[in-house]
A and B are shown apart, each in its own frame.
Chain A
Amino acid sequence: MQGVTKSYDGEPALADVSIAIARGEFAFLIGTNGAGKTTLLRILLREEPFDSGVVLVNGVDVSRIRGAALTKFRRRIGVVFQDTRLLPNATVRENVGLPLQVRGRANREIDVAVDDVLGRVALSDKGERFPRQLSGGEQRKVALARAVISKPDVLLCDEPTDSINPAHAREIIGLLLDINSEGVTTLVATHDSEIVNNLRRRVIRMDAGTILADEAVGVFNTS
């Protein structure tokens, strides 16, 4: 990301943001609400246009992707949205299997992959439930399972441990590290200081749409 700016109705959301994340790296994006973390993730997914600058994801210039290329681009990125965005009228299995359904995979193959990933997030017994029948932490895990089932190159997570109990949060972070260890570039936006401080990973600190600091081994400094 080089010199990226983005504003909403004249209000700057990102101002001259430049960061580089290497293939297979794990990084935290931290900052208070309104710092620009979600906007940055949305730009990386090409969910949101930006005003100026250059954004390359997997070597692809995000601002130039259109039509079928956008579909192909998004299939290489897994996302855990802040509000999970699970399909309310679909079961856990259907939600998790969706990225494979859109690729036209056979049902048998999808079933095997769904069983595997639900086992990984310890939700094998909840496959036939609907999202409304799950706790917040379980919904996050379903969202994570959906994000990784297609073995993406990049995983973007927006507040994956927000408003869930510490046990679920630790479980989710453990899963993120596992996934990252398989070579998936992982960027996690969070304001959970405990997790950031415990993991001692790269931390990109944001405030008011700018990068305040980029530390190879950072801590969550609330000051």
Chain B
Amino acid sequence: MTAKLNVLRYVLGAAMLGLWRNRTMTLGAVVTTAVMLVTLAAFLAINDTLNEMVTALGRKSNLIAYVRDDARPSRVTEIMQDLEQRPGVGEVVFVTKEDALRIFQERFFDQRDVIDILQANPLPASVELRMDDPAVLPALADELRGMTGVFESVAVPLDVVERLVSISNVSRAAGTAMIVALTAVALFVIANTIRIAVYARRQEIEIMKLVGATDWFVRGPFIIEGAFIGLVGATLAAVALVVMYLQVAPTITRLISFLPIATDVSFVRNLAVFIVLVGLVVGSIGSYVSVRRYLAV
């Protein structure tokens, strides 16, 4: 037990000494890790923002189902409750005939005479759907059109919806492909940097093995060094990411204020935690794998 504690103490000390005595290599590896992770994280943030934008556009595309005057209110309520449960449906709002008239009067206040000459309110009540996913709109519109006893007509901007759906699909597919590729490149570059650092010290590994060191005795300091490099590099990347996000997000929000994009601090915080974990794991595993090939002495 004492021997194991002594070895543990040695391994920790050797890791710290190794980092310091190979500081140029350490610095290079930390900077490479930071640059790769900040690039990856920035892309993840941009991709998330683009997806948010597409979703926000989707929310702007509504379906309006005009309710027949003779429709049973209980039936309308029932349908609305059902619609609220449907996937892709964000919000279901009932606009009464009175509301419709008020909105008309507000929007067309210079044409009030048109309404005034009528004895009764000609505008129908309606059920408005605000969508989370515009892709489900066409099918939903068809379904509501089939309820002829409840709805007079159903209005849906199909051309806009189709375009939005295709933009959304392309954007998500391209984003996913880029994320996969960029993640692979980032992991490869970080792991390779660590491999080069280990390669430069392969003779150390061989010597330690020849004087009777166990594999874990040799590997321990390298894994700690790799974890340290990954952790520090990733932390620098996370800090850079948070600073950039806090600086850039308000500008984006201002520039495209017509879209309700949330500058979500929790998203960037989660992303920062994620890349720190990635750095830590890739650093340790990268070292473990790199050292392994030189242990067979």
A interface with B by C-beta (< 8 Å): 45, 47, 68, 71-72, 74-75, 79, 85-89, 98-99, 101-107, 146, 150
Contacts and interface: CB of A to CB of B under 8 A. Distances in A.
Centre residue among A72, A98, A102 by max chain B CB count within 10 A: A102
Interface residues of B, number: 26
Contact of B2 (A71, A86, A104): A104
Contact of A71 (B4, B22, B203, B213): B213
Nearest to B204: A87
Centre residue among B18, B204, B210 by max chain A CB count within 10 A: B210
B211 A74 contact: yes
A47 B18 contact: no
B214 A71 contact: yes
Given A71-B212, A89-B22, A106 B2 contact: yes
B274 interface: no
Centre residue among A45, A71, A86 by max chain B CB count within 10 A: A71
A45 to B, nearest CB: 7
A75 to B, nearest CB: 4
A106 B8 CA distance: 11
A74 B215 CA distance: 13
A85 B208 CA distance: 10
Interface in B197-213: 201, 203-204, 206-213
Interface in B17-43: 17-18, 21-22
B204 to A, nearest CB: 5
B217 A102 contact: yes
A205 to B, nearest CB: 27
Contacts of A47: 210, 297
B21 A102 contact: no
A107 B217 contact: no
Interface of B: 2-7, 9-10, 17-18, 21-22, 201, 203-204, 206-214, 217, 297
Contact of B6 (A75, A99, A106, A146): A106
9 contacts: A74-B210, A74-B212, A89-B17, A89-B201, A98-B208, A102-B7, A102-B211, A104-B5, A107-B9
Contacts of A150: 212
Interface SS majority for chain A: loop
Given A71-B214, A85-B206, 16 more contacts: A72-B212, A74-B209, A75-B212, A85-B203, A88-B203, A89-B18, A89-B201, A101-B6, A101-B7, A102-B212, A104-B2, A104-B3, A104-B10, A105-B6, A106-B2, A150-B212
Contact of A104 (B6, B208, B210): B6
B10 A101 contact: yes
Nearest to B206: A85
B211 A98 contact: yes
A85 B4 contact: no
B21 to A, nearest CB: 4
A71 B211 CA distance: 8
A48 to B, nearest CB: 10
Nearest to A85: B207
B2 A146 contact: no
Contacts of A88: 203-204
Contacts of B18: 89
Nearest to B7: A104
Contacts of A45: 210
Contacts of B6: 101, 104-107
A71 B215 CA distance: 9
Contacts of A146: 211
Q: Which 7 A-B residue pairs are closest in the complex by CB-CB distance?
A: A104-B3, A75-B212, A102-B213, A74-B212, A89-B21, A104-B7, A104-B6
A72 B6 CA distance: 18
Contacts of A103: 3, 212
A99 B212 contact: yes
Contacts of B214: 68, 71, 102
